[in-house]
Amino acid sequence: MFTVEPQADYLDACLVSIFQIHVNNPKGDILVFLPGQDAIESLTALVNEYSAQLRPQQQRLLACPLFAALPPSQQQKVFDPAPENTRKVILSTNIAETSITIPGIKYVIDCGLAKLRGFNPKIGVESLLLHPISKSSAWQRTGRAGREAAGVCYRLYTEGAFRELEDDTVPEIRRCNLAAAVLSLKATGIDNVLEFDYMDRPSRASLVRALEELYALGAIDDKGDLSDLGKQMAEFPLDPTYSKVLIQSKDYGCSLEVIAIISLLSVDSVFFTPSDKREQASEARKKFLHPDGDHLTLLNVLKSYWEVKGDIEWCKENFINNRNVKIALEVRDQLIRFCERIDMNPHSTCGSDTDNVLKCFLTGFFQNTALLQPDGSYKSVAGSQLVKIHPGSAMFGKRVEGILYNELVFTTKHYVRGVSAIQSAWLPLAAPKYFNNVKSSN
User: Do 276 and 255 form a contact (C-beta atoms < 8 A)?
Assistant: no
pLDDT < 50 stretches in the chain:
442
pLDDT of residue 439: 54
Residues 407-427 pLDDT 10s = 999 888 889 999 999 999 999
Nearest CA to 315 out of 276, 275, 350, 285 is that of 285
Half-sphere exposure of 7 (CA within 13 A, CB side): 21
Answer whether 4's CB lies under 8 Å from 158's CB. Answer: yes
Q: Cα(first)–Cα(last) distance of the chain, in Å? A: 59
CA distances from 220 to 182, 187, 247, 382 (A): 11, 10, 15, 20
Give the SS3 label for residue 435: helix
Residues 67-125 have pLDDT tens digits of 988 888 888 899 999 899 999 999 999 988 877 788 889 999 999 999 998 998 888 88
Predicted pLDDT at 436: 67
